[in-house]
Each structure stands twice: as C-alpha cells, then as structure tokens.
Amino acid sequence: MNASTVSSPARGIVLLLAALSFFVALDSTAKHLSGHLPVPMLVWARYTIHCLLMVVLLAPSMGRQMLRTRRPLLQCLRALCLVLVTVLTMSAFRIMPIAEATAILFVSPLLVTLAAGPWLGERVGPVRWVAVGLGFVGVLLIARPGSALPVGGIALAGAAAVCFAAYQLLTRVLSPTEHPVTTLFYTALVGSLASTAALPWVWEVPPLSPVDVLMVVSLGVYGGLGHFLLIRAFREAPASTLSPIMYAQLGLATLAGWLVFGQWPDFPALIGIGIIATAGVMIALQARRDHLREVVLRRLPPSARI
C-alpha cells in the first residue's frame, strides 16, 4: 500500500474495530454452540457459508479473478493452516474461557517474529526479542501450574497459535503477488471443501432448534463480514497504523467472556493477557519504525545512506 491508496486512517480504524467485533462474535457464538453441537459441524458452517457469501457478493464483479493465482499450492496450504486454527480454537473454546484462549492464540505474532529471521531473512532486533520474552511470560501467567484452566484447552490453544503463525508467514509470502480478495476466497473455498470432505467421518447431527440454525449460519456471516471489513480497513489506512489496534480483540474477548459467559480471568491471568497485548503492540510499533526508516532511506541518495 502506498500513500495514494490510503483514504482515511480514521475510517480504517473504525472498520478494523468493526471487523474485530465480528471476530469476537464468531468466537463467542462458536463457544456457545460447541457446548451442545459438534465442532466439525461448526467448522463446516463457518467456511461454507463464508464461501457462498463471497460467490454471491463478489463473483459477479470479479469473475475469474477470484480464482486467478500464481501460487495455488501455497494458497491451499495457507488456507488449510487456517482451517486447523479454526478446529483447534473452537475445540479450545469448548473447554476453557474465551479470554484466555484468545490470549494464547495471540502469541502467534511472537512466533512469527522468531521464525521470520531464519525463514524470511528479517532482522529480529533487541526490541522484538524483549517482546517475545515478555509474551511468553504472559503465557506462563495464564497457563501457570495451579490455575483452573484445563491442560487440554491450553494445549489446543497453543497448537492453534503455532498453526496461526504458519498461516501468517504464508500470508507474508503470498501478499506481494496475490490479490487480497483472491487469497480470502481461497481461504473460504479450501476451508469449505476440506470440512465437507471430512463430514462423512465426523458428522453428528443432533436436534437443532431454530435458534441453533440461525446461530450456526451466523458463524459464516461473522467470518465473511469480519474478513471483508478487515480488507477494507487496510485499504483505508496503512498496516503500521492498524497493526497495534489488532490487540483490541483481546479486550473485546475478555469483555465478551464476562458479559456472555460470566467468566472473568483471575488476576495473574489478567496480567498475562495484558503482557501479551503489550508485547504484540511493541512488535507492531517496531515494525512501523522499521518501515518508516526504510522509506526515508529509499528517498536518500546512495551517497547519504549509512
């Protein structure tokens, strides 16, 4: 994104907060439904309805461009990583509070920081190393011995964070050459196909009330609208402005856990959530400083660069 494509940072922030609200609504609904409905069914609904929404709303204007990609295998691999994130996260929500599970998932940018050096050739730097250390201290405060959190839930959320880090790394690899809507469509399409293929092996159909049906459908609506607004947000404002605000989702998830499920993190876990958010913001702000430094250096004549 360059300056000419940035329309309104304020509008971008509003769109991002709306997207994060949809993501928290998705997580909260999935947590509620997973108490009496099978997770594979919820995953199938989340991706299939998302895919149908994209076909109905975007295919008429974009046509084959939605499928046009230079790297189909990487697109599919990235999408499968997100499917695994969804399966693992919904399974974690089933047995542990949404705030703590979301916080552990948000360790993924720290894992990306560790992997970006050897895999992408990026310089980590002291600020990022400190942020990574702080982030893992935050995880230890949440998942400390003696806490009421189930070990299985912590393991599921931790595995989701690893898969989410792989998803983010693949997104970085694909973003220079791929249209964001195409990437989003492959996410929905592969997720729908993969979850549909798994249905004969894992499908259980308990009795569904009309409210259950509406809530299951809403999973795909929340996911589709959330990602659409996320794309629109990054068209309105630069990533350096929006990345630190992504951690508002931790606050929204904590609030949703309290209001919807009556679950409030204990004091050490609350401190851990705050530390993880702080570490993530540190990494985002350092990335912003690095980007600004590169922009300035590119504008200098070669003789003036140090």
Mean pLDDT, residues 96-102? 93
Enclosing H/E stretch for 266? none
Q: What is the pLDDT of residues 267-301, one digit of tens each?
A: 999 999 999 989 888 887 877 777 676 666 566 55
Q: What CA–CA distance (Å, rounded) separates 190 from 213?
A: 23
> Does residue 112 register a pLDDT over 50?
yes
Mean pLDDT, residues 122-133? 79
What is the rounded average pLDDT for all residues in the chain? Answer: 85
Report the share of the chain in percent with pLDDT over 70. 88
Enclosing H/E stretch for 6? none
> Does residue 214 register a pLDDT over 70?
yes
Q: What CA–CA distance (Å, rounded) separates 215 from 241?
A: 33
Q: What CA–CA distance (Å, rounded) separates 304 from 242?
A: 31
pLDDT of residue 221: 93
> Does residue 305 register a pLDDT over 60?
no
pLDDT of residue 295: 61
First-last CA distance in the chain: 26
Helices (H), 63-124: 72-95, 98-105, 108-120
Q: What CA–CA distance (Å, rounded) separates 223 from 43?
A: 11
Q: Please provide the DSSP assignment of 213-264 as one string.
A: HHHHHHHHHHHHHHHHHHHHHHHHS-HHHHGGGGGHHHHHHHHHHHHHH---
pLDDT of residue 261: 94
Q: Which of 141-150, 202-211, 222-231 has the lowest mean pLDDT?
A: 202-211
- Are the beta carbons of 6 and 237 closer than 8 angstroms? yes
Which range has the top average pLDDT, 49-63, 96-110, 119-133? 96-110
Q: What is the pLDDT of residues 218-243, one digit of tens each?
A: 999 999 888 888 888 877 877 767 77
DSSP state of 176: T
Q: What CA–CA distance (Å, rounded) separates 199 from 239?
A: 37
pLDDT of residue 84: 96
**Where are the chain's structural domains?**
3-304
SS3 306: coil
pLDDT of residue 3: 42
Cα–Cα nearest to 27, from 5, 48, 37, 42: 42
> Does residue 161 register a pLDDT over 60?
yes
Q: What CA–CA distance (Å, rounded) separates 139 from 236?
A: 33
